[in-house]
Amino acid sequence: MRKFRFFFIVCALVPAFLLSTPLLAKEDTYRGLSDFAKALNLIEKNYVEEVSSEQLARSAIKGMFDSLDPYSVYLSSEGLRNLEIGTMGEFEGIGVEITVRDGFLTVISPIEGGPAQEAGVKSGDVIVSIDGESTEKTNIVDALERIRGREGTKVNIVVRREGTKEEDHEFTITRRMVKLRSVESRLVEKDIGYIKLSQFHRDSADEFLSSYRGLEEENGAKLGGLVLDLRNNPGGLLEQALALCDMFIDKGLILNVKGRSERTSKEYFAREGMEIPTDHVAVIVNQGSASASEVLAGALKDSGRAKIVGTRTFGKGSVQSVIELSGETGVKITTARLLTPSGILIDDKGIEPDIFVEGGEKDPSSDPQLARALETIKRM
């Protein structure tokens, strides 16, 4: 299978990162560093209690990143570990993907089959407290450290949900091992396959292709139609989304990554040939479809390769680079924005469906989004 080597979270070791930027040449930067040194010296000499220089420096770094967008954060050793675990397919916790939106800790989506979903947590819920402590001014990394924990332990969260009689909902959830079931597939009708992609982890593209070929074998012939379900898919590795785009699309632009410089900007084009030759494709999305799943949905929509059914997606379209610092710590910084082939900025806007349909469960008889996707395929 063809591989792309650009990750949604780009991991790199950049020991001289700050020295490589022209920002240090600015006069105001020198002035800021001078003020920082004075403040550090003032605390070390005059504060009522002894404080280590290392602790002060790390707090200063954290403060700098807290002043940026919600996805740019300082990572403790535990934060770095949690970041890596999130791409490996399983972890201990309640199974929920979160972000900070408009200053509020917000659920992108609960992970399929996880404790949070079973408890009733929904995409769009605003987490107002964790174990009785307010989440105000809490960043994503700190929140994850509080939510995750040993299997068998409990965590209490209070969420605010719009459009309900009781605005605040309280959940006490038992943590357990959450396994990311990346791909589920079945034949929904003769010649029509259904594949649900729950997350983009390291093997998702290979698993998807294997499931597709399994459906063709079960069908005994090429599939005439395919429903790709990206509902509540919070994203993951951009490399995997690009690989899937290339399976469906045989030419043209599939993604535009726009950074401040040429070094952080890149256009991705499909290569000749399609590994998914099915002619009629419908993609189901909802508010819980984010980041890498929006890249895939946007490319399939703009190329005319698929019809998008459901509701507007979450709108998380940016690239973060992870840079290790000393002492097993690091930083995660936003380095680029993602645009669909037609130039639509995904961040905050999301992907608009071709066919707007609300609601949705797994059973086609009570799932209006899946029913409409099947109807759309039959009319193609």
Active site residues: 291, 302, 316
CA dist list (Å): 154 to 113, 150, 176? 17, 9, 9
- 3-class DSSP assignment, residue 345: strand
Encoded amino acid at 96, one letter: V
Instruction: Tell me 84's DSSP state.
Output: H
Closest alpha carbon to 232 in 293, 309, 288, 297: 288
Q: Which two tokens stand for residue 321?
A: 């680079």
Cα separation, 114 vs 95, whole angstroms? 5
End-to-end CA distance of the chain: 29
Strand 73-75 with 330-339, pairing: antiparallel
- 298 and 351 Cβ atoms separated by less than 8 Å: yes
Q: E strands, 132-224, where?
A: 133-134, 154-160, 168-174, 176-179, 183-189, 192-197
Residue for token digits 């099915």? 278
290-329: buried (b, 16+ CB within 10 Å) or exposed (e) per residue? Answer: bbbbbbbbbbbbbbebbbbbbbbbbbbbbbbbbbbbeeeb
- 3-class DSSP assignment, residue 141: helix
54-62, long-range: CB within 8 Å, 24+ apart, which pairs?
54/327, 58/329, 60/36, 61/325, 61/331
